[in-house]
Amino acid sequence: MQLTAEQEEWKRRAHEAGTEFREASEQWDREDKVDYAAVAKRFGELGFFGITAPREYGGQGLTCVEYLIAMSEILRASGSWICCEPLFATSGPGPSMLMLSQNEAVREKYLRDVVTGKLGCAIALTEPDHGSDLTHLEVSATSDGDGWIINGHKNYVTGAMHNELYAIFVRFDGIPGPRGIGAVVVHKDTPGFSMIKGPEFIGVRGIPHGDVFLDNVRVGPDDLIVGPGQFANLMQAFNMERLHNCGASLGLMMAAFDETSEHVQQRHQFGRPVIEFQSVYHALVDISITIDAHRLLAFEAARGAIDGRYPQMEAVSKAKLFGGTNVPLVTMKCLELMGGVGVTYDRLTQRLHRDAVTNVVAGGAPSVLRNSIASQIFPGIKFPQTKPRADK
């Protein structure tokens, strides 16, 4: 895709920012630990907070195209997801839900602090018994006059333990199905809110993931993002999560291609650089085409975003599906081309592969994305996923 001169400069800055952390990211992976506050602070100083957020709330007023450029280039240069978390926390899906909210009170209360990085905002949809199936979520919000009492358990929350705010999907007043789902913001210091560290993942290590427990947590009208009956609006903001995943898969593919291309030019076997073997350069050609195809789909989704800010379901789901399913194939082929050294901790590609595998279902499993794309392509046909009740 042709970038403007400003976008080329933005890309160069993102690459430079990621390069700063290339060495440190190896240690983060090994120890599964990072001083996230320091990393976030640095990305704020480098100008990567609130990319798509409106200027009146302290954001940069840029678009999803700049978000995607920054995300993929920072990951490519650093080899680490952690460096992209500050972008996610200040204009990813949580902040996007706040931006899209019709409730001015919640925007006034939180948006400026989120966009400027003062308060990090994570997103909590998944529950132990409901991952892909968001329509049956159980975390409850029960009206108590002018507010709601929240109860339940969320898991796999990226950024739990270090973010201050949690955009939490809840079911209002027991209303069944998607009609009952909305979202509220909860500050971690609210009475009844607690967190524990989640299970250790094979990839995206260093990024904290946690479980969130809500025990009679009270939220007021200025904590309401979206009430019941607006599930489609909520999912529109969630599309930013999918664009973030697209940036991740693009960055991972490019980083693997970079390291592998360099290796096969330096490594000699049978008296010639390995790249001179046809099977090797053909494989690199195929990878390069896969990267281009993913880039086209991802930038198409970013360019078509409503108000430059909210990616549209069909385009971003297609891009996320293509990137998420192809990135492990790309990193796997790169490992093969690098030979034995590829699967040692001395090289980056093994980490990229673990990250790629970890990313396949995050933000929507491939089959679930296919369901959603089918509904977009064939709007007249219903694709019910819920098992019909035996008594019907």
Min dist. Cβ of residue 360 to ligand FAD (A)? 8
> Which of 7, 140, 371, 375: binder of ligand FAD (CB under 6 A)?
371
Site string for ligand FAD, 132-151 (x = CB under 6 A): x-------------------
Q: Do the strands 140-143 and 148-158 form a parallel or antiparallel pair, or are they unpaired? A: antiparallel
> Which of 201, 231, 257, 322: binder of ligand FAD (CB under 6 A)?
201
Bridge partners (DSSP) listed for residue 168: 124, 184
Which residue, among 362, 378, 280, has the nearest Cα to 321 in the 3D structure?
362
- Please say whether the beta carbons of 351 and 82 come within 8 A: no
DSSP class of residue 217? E
Whole-number Å distance between alpha carbons of 339 and 110: 50
Min dist. Cβ of residue 168 to ligand FAD (A)? 9
Q: How far is CA 39 from CA 20, 35, 117, 181, in A?
A: 10, 7, 12, 34
Whole-number Å distance between alpha carbons of 301 and 246: 9
Whole-number Å distance between alpha carbons of 91 and 82: 15
**CB-based closest residue to ligand FAD:** 131
Q: Is 356 in the site for ligand FAD (CB under 6 A)?
A: no
Q: Is 361 in the site for ligand FAD (CB under 6 A)?
A: yes
Q: Is 198 in the site for ligand FAD (CB under 6 A)?
A: no
Min dist. Cβ of residue 91 to ligand FAD (A)? 15
> Which of 261, 312, 358, 375: binder of ligand FAD (CB under 6 A)?
358
Comparing CB distances to ligand FAD, the nearer of 32 and 292 is 32
- Please say whether the beta carbons of 321 and 377 come within 8 A: no
Q: Is 284 in the site for ligand FAD (CB under 6 A)?
A: no
Restricting to residues 154-183, name those near ligand FAD by CB under 6 A: 156-158
Restricting to residues 293-312, name those near ligand FAD by CB under 6 A: none
Q: How far is CA 123 from CA 2, 73, 90, 158, 307, in A?
A: 33, 24, 12, 8, 22
- Backbone angles phi and psi of 31, in degrees to 5: -90, -10
From the list 47-55, 103-111, 288-296, 360-368, the region that binds ligand FAD by CB under 6 A is 360-368
- Which residues bind to ligand FAD, rule: CB under 6 A? 122-126, 131-132, 156-158, 201, 204, 358, 361-365, 367-368, 371, 385
